[in-house]
Amino acid sequence: MIYVGANYHPHDWAPERWPTDIRLMKEAGFNLVRLGHLCWDSFEPSEGHYTFAWFDEVMDLFAEAQIKVVLDIATRPAPTWLHKKYPAITLADRNRNRLYAVHRYYEDVGHPVFQEFAYTFAKVLTERYANHPALYAFGLCNEVGSGIPTFSDEARQRFVQWLRTKYGSIEQLNTAWAAQRWSRKLNSFEDIEFPVSGDVNGAPERMLDMWRFFSDEQLSFLSGLNEIVRNYAPHARETTNHWGENPVLGFDYLKGYREIFDIPGIGFYPGVNPEDRNALFGTCFTTIHRIAETDQPVWCLEFQTGSYGAYAPPKGALRMYAYLSLLFRSEAVCAWTWRAMLGGEEQYIFGLLDHDGLPGRKWGEFRQFAYEMQELKHTGLELPYLPKPEIALAYSFESFKVSQNQRGHYKTAYLDQMMQTFLTLCEDNVDCNIVDLRKIEKEYKLLLVPGHCIMDEESANSIRSFVEQGGTVIMTAYSAKVDEHNRVFGTTMPGRLSDVFGIRSNAFERPIYHHTDTNEGGLQKQKMNLRRENPKIKIADHVVDIPITYYEILEPATAKVLATFTDLENELPAITVNSYGKGQAVYAAVPANIDLMQALFAHYYTELQMNKGPETPQGVAARRVGDYSIYVNTTSSVQRVPIPAPGQGVLTGRRFDNILQLEPYEVEVFKRNTK
């Protein structure tokens, strides 16, 4: 069953309006609503004083309408009264200055006082509505991971304790942090400061531990909310639209998702311009990240309907987005938001209803999608789509933070490599699971490790075991450069895995002019548009001509050369493959690039006997689901899709013989004739 609905904020509207909104939701075929978020002080206007009567009425109305409720536990933002009574819960900037809560998410979720009040509120709320007939699930707050880190004295004290627990002695910490460099040894744990001041970041080893600390605090907070729901509402499910991937804060979702999250949840925000492929499929990557290895569908608890100053995506794109989310295993599509808000920080993020409360064209697109989901239930098409991927794509929050902190070296950002790899799979209509190298749970034929710069022992052992047991791994440049402390390996790279890949990859070249923002002992260096070399990559008889800005010098030991660099003074290995145990380890000397990865994947699809998805033109996403195929045209152009046999379009009723034609942003559910 697919759930379709919206985020609704009854505290924004007069009670007389509630029945009208619910009637319009029913007319649109909605069966789900998300409530309760962002309004702690509407439930608890002052400390210990609760006002639930208004919300009891809201819940009863949705129960009567037979619309299921995801009820958020609204612990963020914290109420003004809590900030005023306990100012220590507010954030502090990199100069340790208190930041007033003039914007959302300005509370320190790791502060014991904040947690005391947040958990008390959570207990009262969950116990009150645990058995309400409208309730389907509780949401573990809203967008944890969004916001900014805090550098207050209180947070520093918790950071010190976190380090004390992790390292045990100051000597071990000094070793992990390479504190002998630049006369930065610590004599006691009380010498520790956050490694930031003003615009300056400290040493990379310290920065990585700082991000781990912030991550652990957010995971701990979410775990506490989860425990409350399980204790006070044991029959309810839990979900959340956390923001573990947030580039400013974020957290290591894969480290704790199994224990904390019941229904994987996401805010599905591809933007309002479908032409932005990175944003569109970046959102799809995030949905798969949330699912990880759970074999569960994901709930799009927020689903973009407009943006700041943008009324909507192009006509038809919202419905297209909804079908695209189905291909990436969604079970629920919940519009953000029901009605465009009149005030507050999102007053010009436009909803399904306009500011005057009347439906716009977006309401019509969601209505069409909701009714199509009802009709498809009777066709035999099994949704949600839950494949069993043969490919694992490794993701690392820690590699993201390492790459982000050391941009002077990692010129191709980690997320760029991840997206180039993921986009390649998307173009091939091939499913994958996002995995944590520290603990791979399922069996796969192919493991992809793009730019995984940090290589701790657990991750290295996982790769080694995967290959020994017969798997094929593909790793790209910038990988395995630093250990778990963010110290560069003093051994042959790829660190901890040079024997598995059968190479040495310590040296590298930059074919373009190298620029760094660091003033290295003289006048500030200029940015110059110079190219020193123009290498290409030859794989068998195929030449891949991509803009190469960095390549590693691979010295094969036991590895064989699969592809070479051409147009250089001497031919060099570009891709190597090494037999190890029962499997093979493939290393690319350049960062992941979609053209290169397509050529490489095409080779291994055949060699490993893996099934590709339906053949489609670029920009048309498709999946086979039993006897059906779902085609989604994500482009603004008419697309002609070759089909293997005649059949019928379930949505349009059209017959197709050899070609299935899709108008801009059109979707079709195709059933092949079996007679």
DSSP 372-420: HHHHHTTTT---S-----SEEEE--HHHHHHHHHTTTT--S-HHHHHHH
Same domain, 534 and 584: yes
DSSP 172-216: HHHHHTTTTGGG---SSGGG---SEETTEE--HHHHHHHHHHHHH
Q: How far apart are CA 113 and CA 159, in angstroms?
A: 16
Residue 247: DSSP 8-state: S
Residue 223: Cβ within 10 Å count: 15
* Locus of tokens 């949401």: 139
Is there a domain that residue 536 lies in?
A: yes
Q: Which two tokens stand for residue 207?
A: 């920065």
Is there a domain that residue 627 lies in?
A: yes
* Count of helices and strands (H, E) across the chain: 17, 30
Beta bridge partners of 138: 71, 238
Is there a domain that residue 265 lies in?
A: no
Q: Give whole-number Cα distances, 289 to 381, 422, 557, in Å.
A: 25, 11, 35
Q: How far apart are CA 461 and CA 345, in angstroms?
A: 47
Same domain, 596 and 630: no
Q: Are 33 and 6 in contact (CB under 8 A)?
A: yes
Domain residues for 656?
620-672
Q: Are 31 and 2 in contact (CB under 8 A)?
A: no
Is there a domain that residue 62 lies in?
A: no
Same domain, 556 and 664: no
- The alpha carbon torsion through 540, 543, 544, 550 (nearest 10 deg) reads 90
Closest residue by Cα to residue 249 from 423, 107, 88, 420:
107
Q: How far apart are CA 611 and CA 373, in angstroms?
A: 28
Q: Give whole-number Cα distances, 388 to 290, 294, 441, 573, 611, in Å.
A: 16, 11, 13, 34, 11
Q: How far apart are CA 606 and CA 125, in angstroms?
A: 55
Beta bridge partners of 566: 536
Q: How far apart are CA 573 and CA 502, in angstroms?
A: 13
Residue 318: Cβ within 10 Å count: 27
Q: What are the DSSP E strand ranges found in 36-131?
A: 68-72
Same domain, 451 and 402: yes
Same domain, 643 and 504: no
Same domain, 521 and 642: no
Residue 500: Cβ within 10 Å count: 26
Q: Under DSSP, is residue 10 helix (H, G, I), strand (E, B) or coil?
A: helix
pLDDT attached to residue 525: 76
Same domain, 423 and 527: yes
* Locus of tokens 């080893």: 205
Is there a domain that residue 441 lies in?
A: yes
Q: How far apart are CA 486 and CA 481, in angstroms?
A: 9
CATH number at residue 504: 3.40.50.880
Q: How far apart are CA 645 and CA 109, in angstroms?
A: 56
**For residues 361-388, b (16+ Cβ closer than 10 Å) or e, as one string?**
ebbebbbbbbebbeebeeeebebbbebe
Structural domain ending residue among the three candidates 607, 636, 662? 607
Q: Give whole-number Cα distances, 222 to 76, 109, 238, 257, 439, in Å.
A: 12, 9, 11, 10, 21
Residue 2: DSSP 8-state: -
Q: How far apart are CA 458 and CA 109, in angstroms?
A: 29
Is there a domain that residue 208 lies in?
A: no
- Please list, in sequence order, all residues whose beta carbon lies within 8 angstroms of the beta carbon of residue 33, skipping any fewer than 6 positions away: 5, 6, 7, 8, 25, 62, 67, 68, 69, 70, 334
DSSP 296-362: --EEEEEEE--BBTB--SSTTHHHHHHHHHHHTTEEEEEEE-SB--SSSTTTTB--SB-TTS-B-HH
Structural domain ending residue among the three candidates 607, 634, 649? 607
Same domain, 480 and 570: yes
CATH number at residue 624: 2.60.40.1180
* Locus of tokens 């005391």: 116
State the amino acid at position 317 in one-letter form. A
Same domain, 577 and 636: no
- The alpha carbon torsion through 631, 636, 642, 643 (nearest 10 deg) reads 20
**Structural domain tally of the chain?**
2
Q: Are 240 and 267 in contact (CB under 8 A)?
A: no
DSSP 471-514: -EEEE-TT-S-B-TTSPBPSSSSSTTTHHHHTEE---EE-SB--
Is there a domain that residue 403 lies in?
A: yes
pLDDT along the chain (675 residues), means of 10: 98 98 98 97 98 98 98 97 97 95 95 98 98 98 96 98 98 98 96 96 97 98 98 96 94 96 96 96 98 97 96 97 98 97 94 96 98 96 97 98 94 97 98 98 98 98 98 98 98 98 96 80 77 92 93 98 94 97 98 96 95 95 96 98 95 96 98 82
Q: Is the dihedral of CA 638, 643, 649, 653 positive or negative?
A: positive
pLDDT attached to residue 675: 65
Query: Rounded to 5 degrees, what are φ and ψ at 371?
Result: -70, -35
- Please list, in sequence order, all residues whose beta carbon lies within 8 angstroms of the beta carbon of residue 574, skipping any fewer than 6 positions away: 535, 537, 538, 551, 554, 563, 564, 565, 588, 589, 590
Query: Rounded to 5 degrees, what are φ and ψ at 304?
Result: -60, 130
Structural domain ending residue among the three candidates 584, 607, 630? 607
Same domain, 600 and 624: no
For the entire predicted model, the pTM comes to 0.97
Same domain, 495 and 628: no
pLDDT attached to residue 242: 94
* Locus of tokens 């919206």: 6
- Please list, in sequence order, all residues whose beta carbon lies within 8 angstroms of the beta carbon of residue 451, skipping any fewer than 6 positions away: 399, 403, 410, 412, 414, 416, 417, 418, 476, 477, 478, 479, 591, 592
Is there a domain that residue 482 lies in?
A: yes
Residue 658: Cβ within 10 Å count: 10
Same domain, 523 and 629: no
